[in-house]
A and B are shown apart, each in its own frame.
Chain A
């Protein structure tokens, strides 16, 4: 998470002009080799696949590309993905704020455990995460099978299951972004607000939140990107039923294996555009945050 480090620390001091340069200079061929490796890697593993997606998507013509979005299953998958993101991002926003607040502003028993557990979704394979929810909520063999069946609640192979799995997978993103920002700021400003007679809620809204807003936006952007793109966990809990529980990543896979590669890539291009837009937004936020730091 290099992003955290750069934003938590102050901007690097300007490099002293000539002496440092001489000390750190490598022979020209090493520099060129490193640059070539770096750029080559980027082109081969990132740029080329991205170009390939758009190339494949438009290969059979623009008409076919747009025809993909007439398909009711594709539209349903897009709607599903947006719905899942709309559910999981706000939930994680609440959780992330609460967790980061608790971890950075209070001392309590089990704090380090909470910090460790926060990383669990990064450590566990998404497929395992999906299976975990099936094991708990399945109406046929889950731990809660009987009560769920009696209450006629369908979680697995339905929207709630997909949302649950997505929330789990994206759990760390916002909290992880906020913790270092909040830690760097300490508690003094909140204490100051307290001595000036402000209540907890007012302090949160007028002091804490404005101080972490860029970190928060950044976390939301990353969380959203992952929520829309999640495949493994969602594949397990959703059952991938076309037109009912299929999300964009799942439907892309379905299309691909049904040899509808133009449609698959058309849909993939939408997801890729979302990713590119996310990155652009992320850069914009970093730029604004850097400016805000310079200013305030």
Chain B
């Protein structure tokens, strides 16, 4: 089921959490809402879920597959929601957690006990937790809890899956495993999924489409490669991946943004078209070497990702003066330094 949010505005008292937000989530896609805390991404997710509602006046609308659901409550929207800290019912067993949505159905639609039990089993098999039916949430690991939360959300056969910082509360290693597991899982069941994250790596590696948010607005929407390679704004540049900002170098004196791997190093002597810089620090991990430089006429350190071979070939040492250049910017480089 596709999701459309049009001109969403949301204020909390005097605070504007969302300003004219437009979002389109195509059916079956995995979309990530990425942004720093306070950017409005969680509020947007909760509005999609029906846990919050847009402003009464000019708040915009939400529709699922063309049907307006702006004022429909969460329970009637058919969404599965996984909370940041999972919000498992702590006094219920895993089985009762997962079956909650089925047991809450009106009597006419409610499956019988045996059917519920079978369905719980099926769901737990899906999230690889069969056999843990009688455990309590406190007896599970973080990753297990998250998968129980997922199974619980899926029990009511939602058309849309919404996840709030799904990996936020997990430690780094479990996070990576679960990330791939979730991607595979989503592809298998083909459910339209939106997840919120503040981790750019997570968004770029996992999502079909990334929605970058900042200050209550959407800055850019695009597939991960586009968003990374062609950021639409300085914010997106700085938020996604490492970037160097060089003041006063772009057209009309605006800052220039260059990723560390886009910069090339050369000997200062070959530098008629390059700017010179002094090496402050060198660190090689694996095939790439991260070189930190002090660019002439700039106070900010400049980081460059060079190959290890190049660093060895040039026999770079801290204190050396080298030339730096970047594609497309060479004509704007400063005059040569002797």
Task: Give A residues with C-beta under 8 Å from B.
Answer: 188-189, 191-199, 202, 206-207, 210-211, 292, 294-296
Number of A-B contacts defined by CB within 8 Å:
70
B190 within 8 A of A: no
Shortest C-beta distance, A233 to chain B (Å), equals: 38
Question: Judging by beta carbons under 8 Å apart, are A197 and B87 in contact?
Answer: no
If the complex has contacts A211-B91, A295-B136, are A197 and B75 also in contact, measured as CB distance less than 8 A? yes
15 contacts between A and B (CB under 8 A): A188-B85, A189-B89, A191-B51, A192-B89, A195-B49, A195-B79, A195-B153, A196-B101, A196-B155, A196-B156, A197-B104, A198-B100, A199-B104, A210-B91, A296-B90
Across the interface, A195 reaches (CB within 8 A) one of B81, B89, B90, namely B81
If the complex has contacts A188-B85, A196-B75, are A211 and B104 also in contact, measured as CB distance less than 8 A? no
Shortest C-beta distance, A290 to chain B (Å), equals: 13
| C-alpha spacing A294/B139, complex, angstroms | 10
If the complex has contacts A188-B87, A207-B89, A296-B136, are A195 and B51 also in contact, measured as CB distance less than 8 A? yes
Enumerate chain B residues within 8 angstroms of A195, measured Cβ to Cβ.
49-51, 74-75, 79-81, 153
| C-alpha spacing A194/B76, complex, angstroms | 9
Give 10 nearest A-B pairs by CB, closest first: A196-B101, A188-B87, A198-B104, A197-B75, A192-B87, A195-B81, A195-B74, A210-B91, A296-B90, A194-B74
Question: Judging by beta carbons under 8 Å apart, are B104 and A196 in contact?
Answer: yes
B257 within 8 A of A: no
| C-alpha spacing A98/B79, complex, angstroms | 29
Interface residues of B in 64-88 (CB under 8 A from A): 73-76, 79-81, 83, 85, 87-88
Enumerate chain B residues within 8 angstroms of A296, measured Cβ to Cβ.
90-91, 136-138
| C-alpha spacing A192/B145, complex, angstroms | 14
| C-alpha spacing A197/B49, complex, angstroms | 12
| C-alpha spacing A199/B104, complex, angstroms | 8
Question: Judging by beta carbons under 8 Å apart, are A192 and B83 in contact?
Answer: yes
B300 within 8 A of A: no
Enumerate chain A residues within 8 angstroms of B41, measured Cβ to Cβ.
none
| C-alpha spacing A296/B100, complex, angstroms | 17
If the complex has contacts A196-B100, A197-B101, A211-B90, are A191 and B74 also in contact, measured as CB distance less than 8 A? yes
